[in-house]
Amino acid sequence: MARKHLFLPTLIATLVSANSFAAVQSFDTRSFAMGGIGASTADYLTASFHNPALAARYGEDDDMAVLIPSIGAQIDDSEEIIDKTDSFSDIYDQFSSINNPTEQDAQLVVDALEELQSNRANVQANVSLAVAIPNQYVSVNMFVKAYADAFVFADIAEGDLDANKLIENSSLTSQALTMGVVIAEIGVSLAKSYEHSNGTFYYGITPKYQQVTTINYVTDIENYEFDDWDDDRYQSEESNINLDVGLAYQMNNGLAFGFVGKNLIENSYDTSLTHGIRGEYVINPTYIASASYNHRLFNVGVDVELNETKSYDVIEGTLNGIDADADNKQMAGIGVEFNAFDWAQLRAGYQTDLSDNLADQFTAGIGLSPFDVFHIDLSASYASDNELGAVIQTSFTF
């Protein structure tokens, strides 16, 4: 059980200590609490994470804003692989200490392995910072952020599920692995607006530098430690330039529409080769459409990703084939926010994965913004007792 508590703090600590920051996904508290929406509802400070065009949508009294920082994590361990692997290690250690093990002793090991077979867990974490400078010429939003996305998989050998063979060999070939990615970004969003009689049209662009570190940690299942994934020998690092573009239209009656294309330059990244296992991670363009109704006292909106985000496109060399599409995501969300005259906010939402790889989840959050200057926001998500997340964020607006 202790290893479960070590894993997320280690992951987040790695993000915080990264040399550069940023990422593909965003965990800002307002969006997270509202079902992940943002392409037509994000404010000018978080526009870079959702739709660069919205950096130009600001109020008359808005001069500058600073996000320092947003920190979040989310875990899906519905199959309880983390606890099961921990328990298996204890069972196997006890079996290995017996001088003349019986078939019954070996069967306890086999039963524990069968409990683990093909189990997996997903973990995501994010750290982000931003500075927004809105103005009538070109609104600017500078940001840095780091995003980690990983899955843990139990790769069980069929030969290890025979109690008699286990007594004869007293060794296992089953393994466990963590495959994932840490994406660091630094970029700047530039946006303009054009007003006409029925509303305002916004358009923006975000050039950004990405540093992509792939993770391929593989070891014997009885020796698996969740916090060993960050060893350099399991990592491979590359960098590139990428681009986001966005459009938004705010009507005078409160209706708003948004469209954004993220990571328009597709790139693939090979992992290191570990125990004969390799993978290829892909950052592919993702397109999002959004509609919302924005009022001073409440906002309601919906976002839909129009295509899948691929993640690992190739995984080769495992004992049991891993479906590389099992970590694809295509998110859709709906959310609402109630605003008490810019002093406090109450938010709720619902998010689903159209690829059917992640469980549907409910989201909620609160915000406090005295004098509309200092902001502290908290949000959380829940799908089950082992599928949950949380984000905390502080910011200043002037």
Angle, helices 103-116 vs 81-96, to 10°: value is 160
Average pLDDT over residues 145-160: 91
d(CA 95, CA 107): 10
pLDDT more than 90, % of the chain: 71
CA dihedral 160, 217, 76, 288 (to 10 degrees): -130
pLDDT (tens digit, 9 = 90+) per residue, 31-74?
999 999 999 999 999 999 999 999 999 998 898 999 999 999 99
CB 132 within 8 A of CB 139: yes
- Partnered with residue 206 across adjacent β-strands are 244
Q: What is the pLDDT of residues 221-267, one digit of tens each?
A: 988 887 788 888 999 999 999 999 999 999 999 999 999 999 999 99
- The residue-averaged pLDDT of 362-389 equals 94
Q: Note the pLDDT of residue 308.
A: 95
| pTM summary value | 0.89
pLDDT for 269 beyond 70? yes
Per-residue tokens: 243: 């681009």
Q: Cα–chain-centroid distance for residue 75?
A: 9
Look up residue 131 and give its two tokens.
């500075």
Quick check: 109 and 95 in contact, CB under 8 A?
yes
Q: What is the pLDDT of residue 21?
A: 29
pLDDT at residue number 25: 54
For 2-397, CATH number out of 2.40.160, 3.40.50, 3.30.70, 1.10.287 equals 2.40.160
The widest CA-to-CA distance across the chain, in whole angstroms, is 87
To 10 degrees, the CA torsion angle through 54, 56, 62, 63? 130
Statement: residue 107 has pLDDT above 60: yes
Residue-level length of the chain: 398
How many H helices and E strands in the chain?
6, 17
141-152: average pLDDT: 93
